Every structure is written in structure tokens, then in C-alpha cells.
Amino acid sequence: MSTLTSRFEIRWHGRGGQGIVTAANLTATAAIKAGFYAQSIPTFGTERRGAPVIAYNRIDRQVIYERSPIVEPDAVVVADPHLLANPKPLVAGLKSNGYLIINTTKSVEEIRSIIGRSDVKIGVINATKLAMDVLKAPIVNTAVVGAMLAATKILPVEYAFEAVKDMFPERLVQPNIQLIKQAYELVKVE
């Protein structure tokens, strides 16, 4: 069941090759399948593996006309744990009572200490390990989508499964659905 009652905005942080743009597209597709209006907006500089990537989602019950970058997100998803070396851009503008979901081996308490905020809910998941176990590659996009959906409860996870079936080649459907399920169950949120 969805808890979405008004516009919900997500900012995704990662690096080229981690599937961040795909994660935002997958989330938008899942939201549309759930009956919402949604946008997926990628921004990146040089298109190369390892370069910083930011993507955005807007999800709403009403038509969305705005196309600008999101500066005050309800949720921030961080796919690359190395980005924690400079946490300010990650939590910049994150709303009080918002969500910070991070691919990390650190605990919620460690992340809270790093970001210096007690007014947000933090979700931690070792998405890299899950992806390596299932895909044999550090492509964490579907794992962080699963973790985000579990933390925020904005959409039923089944819509993400449907989006994967529409967007991924047949050979990748079941492994990515498995990743979403595992991350959904394993994310720790406080």
C-alpha cells in the first residue's frame, strides 16, 4: 500500500555505471504503474563510468509541470558509499523528517554521526554485496530502489517488479526482482 498523499521528490546520487539513471527511471515507471504521475530527470557531466551522476524523481497524484532540479528532496538515495567522504552535498536541502538511504556497510548510528543530522530517517543497506552475490557485478540500482521503497513506503514494491519486467531484458528480470526483494527486506531504517 502507498503512503503517498502529496508530491514526493527523490534525489539520487551515484557514479556512472551504478545504474542511477536507470534507478530513477525504474522508480518513475513503478509510480506510473501504481496510478501516479511521475518524472525521472537525469543530470550528469561527462558520460563515463565512475563520473558523478545525479538523478531526480517527482511523484504526485496530479500532473507535474515543473522540470527543474530538486533542491529540497523528501528522500536522498546514495548508491556510492565513497560519496560519504563529502556528505554536505548529499544532505543539502533534505527535508526534516526526510529519508537518507545509503549503500554502505556502516550502521545507522555511524551515518548519523557523519552527516550530523538527527532530524532525518536513515536507511542503510549493503547493496554492493547484494549485487555482487546476485549479478556478479556492482550494479546496485535495483537494490537501492528496493531499499528506498521499503524505507519510504511511497509505493507497493510489486510495481517495481512490474517496471523491471518492462524495462529489463528477460535474462535480467528475475535477478533484479530478487535484488529488489532482498534489499526491501534487509534495509535497516531508523
Per-residue pLDDT band for 6 (boundaries 50, 70, 90) equals confident
Q: Which architecture characterizes domain 8-189 according to CATH? A: 3-Layer(aba) Sandwich (3.40)
Per-residue pLDDT band for 67 (boundaries 50, 70, 90) equals confident
65 burial type by CB count under 10 A (0-12 exposed, 13-18 middle, 19+ buried): exposed
Assessment of whether the complete model's pTM goes beyond 0.75: yes
Inter-residue contact 157 to 7 (CB < 8 Å): no
100 closest CA partner among 1, 39, 13: 13
**Cell 556478479 identifies what position?**
136
Per-residue pLDDT band for 70 (boundaries 50, 70, 90) equals very high
Question: Average pLDDT in the 111-139 region?
Answer: 97
Predicted pLDDT at 38: 97
Inter-residue contact 94 to 119 (CB < 8 Å): no
Could you give the dihedral angle defined by the CA atoms of residues 63, 65, 69 and 73, in that order, rounded to the nearest 10 degrees?
-30
Question: Average pLDDT in the 64-71 region?
Answer: 91
Predicted pLDDT at 134: 97
